[in-house]
Amino acid sequence: MSRTRSAADSATGSGTRETARRAKTRERLMNAAYRQFCQHGINGTSIEAITDDAGFTRGAFYSNFASKEELFLALAERENRLRLAMLRKRFDEIVATLGRPTSKPGPELIEEVIADILSFQPQERQWCLLNIEFRLLAMRNPQVAPKFLETIRTFQNQLAELIDTAMASVGLRFVVDSAHLTRMLLNQFESAMVNAILSGTDDPEGAVRDEMMRTLPSLVDRLTELSPPQQPDA
């Protein structure tokens, strides 16, 4: 019995190590793809360039991804997931300091909170370049397009839910559909980043923050209201 259990435990441990090793390999391949896609574009990046950057062989690539397009989709999902996690953490920290107000926060506080959130977005220049590459590939490839569109919609919906939850935590809600508003703000953010990159500024993230701060605080102020108090259970 003990030998059987030891063999089973050994097999389980071996499987766990293999899973962890595989996850690290995928992560390194995606990190390499991120760098190569940003520098050379998706079409200009070969699988060999990705594997050379990551320090692996083509065999390691095909053990984890069936194609460059599959890697691209996995990378898009990972980056969206990481950004949502960072925003969720920041929202939680901000909400913890605000509490639940008895009256609607003034424009100054709303402006301060938005400035705090906008200052928390890393490497948006690279992410903007990568997003443009993603969209170009999806528009040119009918097989990739629906999968990428699903990735975009999932991110937008999750972000809208995150914002709704954060607003509800401080007793506020939007007076318009939050999903539509989120899509509009994401489009505005991306447009501002594209303009900042094209202008050649040394600090595109700073330029985008300045652009967003011109309109976003007043927009949020006008489009939010206090949530009605919850009725106690009967």
Mapping DSSP onto H, E and C, the string for 61-87 reads HHHHCCCHHHHHHHHHHHHHHHHHHHH
Q: Within this chain, do residues 153 and 198 fall inside the same structural domain, yes or no?
A: yes
Please write the tens of the pLDDT for every residue from 121-154: 666 788 888 889 889 989 999 999 999 999 999 9
- The three-point CA angle 60-65-66 to 5° equals 115
Q: Is the pTM of this model over 0.75?
A: yes
- Confidence at residue 152, expressed as pLDDT on a 0 to 100 scale: 93
Structural domain of residue 20, as residue ranges? Answer: 10-65
Report whether pLDDT(232) > 70. Answer: no
Q: Within this chain, do residues 77 and 44 fall inside the same structural domain, yes or no?
A: no
Report whether pLDDT(4) > 80. Answer: no
Place of tokens 């990739």: 144
Please write the tens of the pLDDT for every residue from 116-125: 888 766 667 8
**Domain containing 46 — which CATH number?**
1.10.10
Q: Residue 148: helix, strand or coil by DSSP?
A: helix
Q: Within this chain, do residues 33 and 22 fall inside the same structural domain, yes or no?
A: yes
**Domain containing 135 — which CATH number?**
1.10.357
- E-strand ranges in the chain read 172-174, 224-226
Distance CA 92, CA 88 (A): 6
